[in-house]
Structure 1
Amino acid sequence: MINILDKTFVPFISKEDIENRITALAARISKDYEQSCPVFLVVLNGAFLFASELVKRIPLTCEITFIRLSSYSQTESTGTVTEIIGIDKTLENRDVIIIEDIVDTGLTMSQLLKEIGKMSPKTVEIATLLHKPEALKTPVDMRYKGFEIANKFVVGYGLDYEGIGRNLDSIYVLG
């Protein structure tokens, strides 16, 4: 059990389970893109740990760039996506893999996919560590999913509560 500010969280997904799943996802991506030089578009801040562990297991020639979006206030999605830092690479005719920490409502990802689509990429896929299917408000096709979880608030492994908890090496759920 851990306490972050005014909330208590309990263990949910272990470090070992996360590492094993990331290794499996990296193997799939490596096979799928062995003839390509993909662009990994990492959604900050939450996806930084997942992205780091994922891409270092992918032995392909690739590019990595970052975008920062925000749609959360405390433990709830606001339903409004704010772009904070934009894409700084050309994506035209490129294979793009968006790396995200969690897809829950799908609103952030849906908006990001529309914006990337305007840049004429060859392909766009999503790699997410966590997916909350019961929280989806708009459908999103995710090719690479780490774990499907219930619609509960989680922290750790890049995910935070009010900016705290990202550095935890396991994932915890609100108790």
Structure 2
Amino acid sequence: MSRVTIKDKTFETSMPEAQIKWRVKQLAQQISSELEGKNPLFLAVLNGAFIFAADLMREMTIPCEISFVKLASYQGTTSTGKIKEVMGINEDLSGRTVIILEDIVETGLTIKQMIESLGTRNPAEIKVCTLFFKPEKLNVDLKLDYVAFEIPNDFILGYGLDYDQQGRGLKDLYTLVSE
């Protein structure tokens, strides 16, 4: 296992890039199969989901579109619990299948708020696809349609996830080492 230091914290490799990409390919096959004949609109939540979204899109085998929304709820390693929309959605969602792409679902507050907001725009359906899910942190009633990995309640970074805006470009997933 390799270790990296980002700012004042040390992280250790917990999942190699190859394992993540293999699972992303499986998700793309599942989504493509289930949504055959539709033209889903993926809404990737920035900044964390951009690598996941790019890899997933390259593996899709059905026509689909992508757009991005920027939300913020983190400071350092802690969620503030308050979500603010930084960059919104310009697409017409009426009658569309919308799939929210998230890097990680923890409490579920961000996704729940996003589903409620999108629901006012008359989509045919809203689905949620997340790369990582921490089931023990979830504190709202939330249906996740596609989950790549269920993980423990550890702080992670790499593959798009960051610590204070650093470490997103790491190819593998890293977990914070207890100091």
Deviation at 1:60, TM superposition (A): 1.4
Q: Which residue in the other structure is 2:124 paired with?
A: 122
Runs (4+) off by over 4 Å: none
2:4 equivalent to 1:2: yes
Matches within 5 A, 1:38-57: 38-57=40-59
Deviation at 1:88, TM superposition (A): 1.0
Which deviates more from structure 2 when the two are superposed, residues 134-143 or residues 108-117?
A: 134-143
State the TM-score, normalized to the length of structure 2. 0.96
Q: Which residue in the other structure is 1:144 paired with?
A: 146
Q: Which residue in the other structure is 1:105 paired with?
A: 107
Q: Which residue in the other structure is 1:161 paired with?
A: 163
Q: Which residue in the other structure is 1:92 paired with?
A: 94
Deviation at 1:139, TM superposition (A): 2.1
Q: Which runs of 5+ in 2 are unaligned?
A: none
Deviation at 1:13, TM superposition (A): 1.1
CA deviation map 1:35-71 (0-9, x unaligned): 1000010100000000000011002111111100011
State the TM-score, normalized to the length of structure 1. 0.98
**Overall identity of the aligned pairs, in %:** 44
Please give the alpha-carbon distance, in whole angstroms, between the structure 2 residues aligned to 1:126 and 1:170: 23
Q: Which runs of 5+ in 1 are unaligned?
A: none
Please give the alpha-carbon distance, in whole angstroms, between the structure 2 residues aligned to 1:122 and 1:134: 30
Give the paired residue count.
Answer: 175
| Aligned Cα root-mean-square deviation (Å) | 0.6
Please give the alpha-carbon distance, in whole angstroms, between the structure 2 residues aligned to 1:139 and 1:170: 30
